[in-house]
Amino acid sequence: MRATVEQAGLGARSELSLPALASELGRARAYAREATAAFGFDVERCEDVVCAFNEAVTNAIRHGRPDEHGRIRLSVLDDGERLTLAVRDYGTFAVPAEGTAPRSEGGRGFPLMTALMDTVELRVEPAGTTVRLSKARA
């Protein structure tokens, strides 16, 4: 596990590079759980964030593409008022057609993340896809 932590004027930021393997989901959840606890969320809010983050990481592993080293990037930003977790892979996300119903094998991830978090942002670029999940302190 490669992790870096920086303290900047805008808050604390950490980054983690993980192999894009389902066997790494436990490490991703532990990373999110540590960040939410350090931020001061209660147990229920911590678990909401961890659940949403797990879904984003699962999507990156299943549907995304790793970098040339077989890894995806995770990050946490604590700006004092809001905790933001991000998952980046190097594939291009195909946005489902509006009004498309979830299938039995998938399609529920974004509604789940949206229900658990204050903000869910999806950024699709030619070089990759980033999902940012944010939750305010109060």
Q: Which of 101 and 34 is assigned the larger pLDDT? A: 34
What pLDDT was estimated at residue 85? 98
pLDDT reported for residue 83: 97
How far from 84 is each of 22, 53, 93, CA to CA, in Å? Answer: 22, 10, 20
Beta strands, E only, the chain: 2-8, 11-19, 71-78, 82-89, 119-125, 128-136
> Which region holds residue 128: left if phi is over 0, alpha if psi is between -120 and 50, else beta?
left
Joined together, the tokens standing for residue 65 give: 């593409």
Q: Please give the mean pLDDT across all residues of the chain.
A: 87
Q: Spelled out in words, what is the top-level CATH class assigned to the domain 2-136? A: alpha beta
